[in-house]
Amino acid sequence: MSGEKLAIPLPCTCFDNVNNGIASVYSSYVVQRGDSLASIGAQFGVSTMNLVAVNGLSQPGVDPGDILSIAIAACSSANLNWYNESLIVPNGSYALTANSCIKCSCGQHDLNLRCGPSDGYRV
């Protein structure tokens, strides 16, 4: 009905942006019909055991509509010895910083943060 409020509970499991000693970004995922922990893990590059542990599941099964927390490996600016060591970029993605002048990316196969000129990107 129009005007009704809808509450969607999302897991809050940031663990200081670390998962098994690796810098991580946490994302929420709503389980779809036909999903299993194995298929969700394959989609995000995490193990079934990791999904069970991060979400505190008592059994390795999920139902459509369940909301899971997914720990995605990330690159961190902490290894660059910057003054502000809070930049964390998910694996396989990039972030624009400093008024879109610097582009920092996290490699798909390694977790080394690379930063350089953004080649004229503006947002």
Domain edges within the chain: 15-73, 79-117
* Of residues 71 and 122, more confidently modeled: 71
> What are residue 68's DSSP bridge partners?
29
| DSSP H or E run through 88 | strand 88-90
Q: What is the mean pLDDT of residues 95-114?
A: 77
Q: Which residue has the higher pLDDT, 102 or 58?
A: 58
Residue 34 has pLDDT above 90, yes or no: yes
Homologous superfamily in CATH for domain 15-73: LysM domain (3.10.350.10)
Q: Quote the percentage of the chain above a pLDDT of 70.
A: 78
The predicted structure's pLDDT at residue 24: 82
Considering only CA atoms, give the Rg of the chain. 17
If you ran DSSP here, which 8-state letter would residue 41 be given? H
Q: Tell me the helices (H) and strands (E) count for the chain, helix number first.
A: 2, 7
The band of 74, judged by pLDDT with boundaries at 50, 70 and 90, is confident
